[in-house]
Chain A
Amino acid sequence: DGGITQSPKYLFRKEGQNVTLSCEQNLNHDAMYWYRQDPGQGLRLIYYSQIVNDFQKGDIAEGYSVSREKKESFPLTVTSAQKNPTAFYLCASRYAGGRGNEQFFGPGTRLTVL
């Protein structure tokens, strides 16, 4: 089945540790995105990538890093510089040639920093 997978579903880390969240898609989508959701907030954009080996900062990129070495994969690293990393992280992808701008989302990763 085609789709977007994020792993793990739940992740716990100690304060001060870097952690990498996985995002893989087999939809042959060109663009991929990382969002963060906090209670009472909408989805806020962290980073996005329109093609392999290229990515742009979103509204809240500080304390995060990404890579896009393969079309299918867009991992997000939450570094120790991120001041409030506990949140629900969502990865999305989009086919650039599509008729609309629909993004398709993965199931999300709940990160809790202890």
Chain B
Amino acid sequence: DQQVKQNSPSLSVQEGRISILNCDYTNSMFDYFLWYKKYPAEGPTFLISISSIKDKNEDGRFTVFLNKSAKHLSLHIVPSQPGDSAVYFCAANQGQAGTALIFGKGTTLSVSS
């Protein structure tokens, strides 16, 4: 059973508009959430994270929102750029250092110019 779900396999957005990528989770014990970006045949790169004690974290064009009651988080990219076209993975972690992340299946974002 998937604990981290990204229900939209793909998303297409025009350059300059907002991209919103969604992620749902089932385990209420998760206390840290991360977003990674991945290009084909490369390793994922860390984008932004949020602790469960917060509901928003912002870093430049990227903002992550966390709704604990709904077990839902979203990544907003504003404005979207063609270079943002990639696969975005949502990941979650519970508890102590060193434990592994649990990843969703990813959403492929395509930004057209």
Contacts and interface: CB of A to CB of B under 8 A. Distances in A.
A92 to B, nearest CB: 8
Contacts of A96: 97-98
B41 A105 contact: no
B43 A102 contact: no
Contacts of B49: 100-102
B110 interface: no
Given A100-B49, A103-B46, A105-B43, A42 B100 contact: no
B41 A108 contact: yes
A104 B9 CA distance: 24
B93 A101 contact: yes
B41 A42 contact: no
Interface in B33-51: 34, 36, 41-46, 49, 51
A105 B42 CA distance: 9
Interface residues of A, number: 32
Interface string B85-113: 00001000100011111111110000000
A85 interface: no
Interface in A29-63: 30-31, 33, 35, 40-45, 48, 50, 58
For B89, B93, B101, which residue has the most chain A Cβ atoms within 10 angstroms? Answer: B101
Contact of B46 (A30, A88, A104): A104
Nearest to A107: B43
Nearest to A47: B100
B32 interface: yes
Interface string B1-14: 00010100100000
Interface in A14-39: 30-31, 33, 35
Interface of B: 4, 6, 9, 32, 34, 36, 41-46, 49, 51, 89, 93, 97-106
Which 5 pairs between the two chains have the least Cβ-Cβ distance?
A105-B43, A50-B98, A42-B103, A96-B97, A31-B98
